[in-house]
Structure 1
Amino acid sequence: MSQFVSDVAFTPAVKAFQERRGSRPHYEKHDMRDRLSPDVAAFIAQRTSFYFATASAEGQPYIQHRGGPKGFLRVLDDRTLAFADYAGNHQYITIGNLSENARAYMFLMDYATRTRVKIWGRAEVVEDAATVAMLMPEGYRARPLQAVVFAISAIDFNCSSHIPQKFDADEVAGALAHLQSKIDMLEAELAAVKSAKEPS
């Protein structure tokens, strides 16, 4: 039985390396959350993508990108996340892995604020039509095949070191449109001043 939430990541082998490298005293006092706080729930609600890791029964890892409009990754309660799983390349590696190994992991990144959230847990594929329909974002053009319900075991944050700062295309387009509007206004004002100075 694990004593700490962080034991899901800090296995005996990991702790041994922490001891060897001198970081164990810091992480002995560090524990992870096992429930979503309002700030983390708000962070999740703003994500348009995340990476979803599973493994086969033999432990072969696999990471899949999942994306959609803001809110597509739904907070059901402070211990549960869920999302509609859309038709893709028909490889079915993720759901095949989950059929024999429920352990899963979510990696959520906000490049603009250089923030990342790591979530460990167990995931279940749900094919109930009502659940899939409830999780499908309204108006989003995708064909849902099933839903994935994720029970949270541990949540942790990383520092921002080495995360490049990037912005979504729609955010950049909005900022450029605002700047262009100001440029247009200033050019119009400049043209009016020049016109007023010209001799009649």
Structure 2
Amino acid sequence: MEPSAIRYTSDVAFTPTVKAMQTRLGSREIYARMEAQRGFGTDLTPDVSAFIEAQRSVFLATANVDGQPYIQHRGGPAGFLHVLDARIIAFADFIGNQQYITLGNLTDNPKAYLFLIDYARRRRIKLWGEARVVEDAAWVERLLPAGYKARAGRAIEFTVTAWDSNCPQHIPQRFEADDVKAALEARDEQIREMEEAAVRQEARVRELEAEVARLRALARD
């Protein structure tokens, strides 16, 4: 859709055909109110920025000149996605299977889409925009997560056109293995501390009982 055709921020997704479908299926009134009241977001809020930078996984969608879509997964430690300002997200493009479908698509068509989902908190963020490839070694080095063993030959910069947050309905709750391990270790440590405290308390009780017995003996004498 050309920028001149966009009246509401949600028009990036709600084309005339989509709106006609909403009308036919009965949801148009709901989204018309949304458009009039708030629309999709444009600038990334502090809450959304924090959500993005906390993620360890992202899906990047592109399309070639024929409109054939392609989705690529990118992952890394929390913080590998960098929110540079209210509109720009950047990350090092780690070397993978070297098919370069995303890079080829972006060469012909900069339109792109990011989809982020947090299963543990059952939250997802959708971002529409444009992406470009940056082959600047110094910039790529700055974007690389510290201590992460991966190579990257370039960076991807994503400029946000609009974003939206979905409700948690139908998102299965899942947890990262590292988070589960940390939670179990914290639980086990808490149990150990409680057991040690119980042992100390029991020893103190025995001391007090012995002291009471001693004092009673003295009283009898």
TM-score for the superposition, normalised by structure 1: 0.92
Q: Which moved more, 1:114-123 or 1:179-188?
A: 179-188
Q: Distance in 1 between matches of 2:98 and 2:116?
A: 24
* Equivalent residue number for residue 33 of structure 2: 29
Q: Is the 8 A contact 2:134 2:155 kept in 1?
A: yes
Task: Give the counterpart of 2:50 among 42, 57, 69.
Answer: 42
Q: Deviations over 1:28-76 (max 9, x none)?
A: 1221011101110111111111111111110111111111111111111
1:107 aligns to what SS in structure 2?
A: strand
**CA displacement at 1:181 relative to structure 2:** 2.0
Q: Distance in 2 between matches of 1:111 and 1:123?
A: 25
Higher-Rg structure is 2
1:99 aligns to what SS in structure 2?
A: helix
1:137 aligns to what SS in structure 2?
A: coil
* Equivalent residue number for residue 113 of structure 1: 121
Task: Give the counterpart of 1:147 among 147, 152, 155.
Answer: 155
Q: 1:121 to 1:185 in 2, by over 3 A?
A: same
Q: Which runs of 5+ in 2 are unaligned?
A: 207-221
Q: Distance in 2 between matches of 1:137 and 1:182?
A: 32
* Equivalent residue number for residue 19 of structure 1: 23
* Equivalent residue number for residue 124 of structure 1: 132
Q: Which amino acid aligns with 2:24?
A: R
Q: Deviations over 1:97-131 (max 9, x none)?
A: 11111110000111111000000000001101222
Write out aligned runs for 1:1-200 (5 A).
Answer: 1=4, 2-30=6-34, 31-187=39-195
Q: Distance in 2 between matches of 1:121 and 1:183?
A: 49
**CA displacement at 1:184 relative to structure 2:** 3.1
Tell me: higher relative CO, structure 1 or 2? Use CA pairs within 8 A at least 6 residues apart.
1
Q: Distance in 2 between matches of 1:69 and 1:3?
A: 38
| Paired residue total | 196
Q: Which amino acid aligns with 1:85?
A: D
Q: Which amino acid aligns with 2:22?
A: Q
Same amino acid, percent of matched pairs: 53
> Higher helix fraction: Structure 1 or Structure 2?
2
**CA displacement at 1:186 relative to structure 2:** 4.5
Q: Which amino acid aligns with 2:135?
A: E
Q: Distance in 2 between matches of 1:189 and 1:149?
A: 53
**CA displacement at 1:187 relative to structure 2:** 4.7
Q: Which runs of 5+ in 1 are unaligned?
A: none
Q: Which amino acid aligns with 1:164?
A: P
Q: Deviations over 1:134-180 (max 9, x none)?
A: 21122211111111111111100111000011111111111111221
Q: Distance in 2 between matches of 1:139 and 1:181?
A: 27
2:178 aligns to what SS in structure 1?
A: helix
Q: Distance in 1 between matches of 2:49 and 2:197?
A: 46
Q: Is the 8 A contact 2:43 2:86 kept in 1?
A: yes
Q: Which amino acid aligns with 1:20?
A: R
